[in-house]
Amino acid sequence: MTIPRNVLWLCALLLTLNASVRAQTRPAAADFNALVFSKTVMFRHASITNGIAAIQRLGAENRFRVEATEDASCFTPANLAKYRVVIFLSTSGDILNEEQQAAFKSFIEHGGGLAAIHAAVAGDVATEGSWPWYGGALCARFTNHSAVVQATVEIEDRKNPSTAPLPEHWVRADEWYNFISTPRGWARVLASVDETTYTGGTMGKDHPVAWCKQVGKGRIWYTALGHTEASFTEPLFLKHLLGGIQSAAGTKRADFKPLR
């Protein structure tokens, strides 16, 4: 039996359309893998749960795969090699043992990225206060903080992916960290908080709250923002966070050269 040409043409068309639909509904391949690490030994922020969920949404919307853990045993050379960026989400205390520290240090210095959020800054009452390499990599040590109050953040770098989407004078509420000294000159300051707009600042006119730095071949990005649970529903904060993750991963161009 001979099948009419128009029937053959229709079958071929249906097969092509079906394949096209399957291709469109297939999940897009991820550009990179990110590991969210939120282990706490000291103070634990209530916003961690919200932060993990927000980063997972950012990953789904922006083509990167997110895994979350509080198990420090995953800090091995073989396992870290799967990721382009590790995200320390309000970690606290000594969260890595010496072997894990060595693996993480090597990961960064050989081209990996760290996006550190809020309590992930170095300090005796923050993260890895007794690890000199971490303190040097983060360029500042936490000392204390204000209450959760509204203040104005001044954007200093208008080109960095984490600050380019933000207004020049960004008014928002957070818990404002004070540091023993400024990271300026050691890291590239991206944004500072204006201490004249709130009560509780101790650093004066030079009070950075977001910065980035190259360490070896790797990239470190830090934001002191993100204490509150509400932070992780704020559209502008989420743009800030996304740009920081992408620049730390090296998938968005950023200048890490310090400015004095």
Q: Can you give the pLDDT at residue 127?
A: 98
Q: How is residue 188 written in tokens?
A: 């590239």
Whole-number Å distance between alpha carbons of 141 and 101: 18
Going along the chain, which residue ranges are E strands? 32-37, 64-69, 85-89, 113-117, 122-123, 127-128, 142-155, 169-179, 188-194, 208-215, 218-223
Phi then psi dihedrals of residue 172, to 5 deg: -160, 165
- % of the chain at pLDDT higher than 90: 88
Which residue(s) pair with 36 in the sheet?
Answer: 68, 87
Question: Which pLDDT band holds residue 30 (cuts at 50, 70, 90)?
Answer: confident
Q: At what angle do helices 48-61 and 235-249 cross, to 10 degrees?
A: 70
Render pLDDT for 51-70 as a digit per residue (tens, 0 to 9).
999 999 999 999 999 999 99
- % of the chain at pLDDT higher than 70: 89
Which residue(s) pair with 187 in the sheet?
Answer: 184
Q: Is the pLDDT of residue 1 over 90?
A: no
127-128 and 64-69 beta bridge pairing: unpaired
Question: Which pLDDT band holds residue 18 (cuts at 50, 70, 90)?
Answer: low
Render pLDDT for 194-223 as a digit per residue (tens, 0 to 9).
999 999 999 999 999 999 999 999 999 999
Contact 90, 120 (CB under 8 A): yes
Whole-number Å distance between alpha carbons of 86 and 151: 29
Q: Can you give the pLDDT at residue 255?
A: 97
C-alpha dist (Å) from residue 181 to 49, 65, 209, 224: 30, 35, 12, 14
Architecture of domain 29-139+209-249: 3-Layer(aba) Sandwich (3.40)
Mean pLDDT of the chain: 92
Question: Which pLDDT band holds residue 22 (cuts at 50, 70, 90)?
Answer: very low
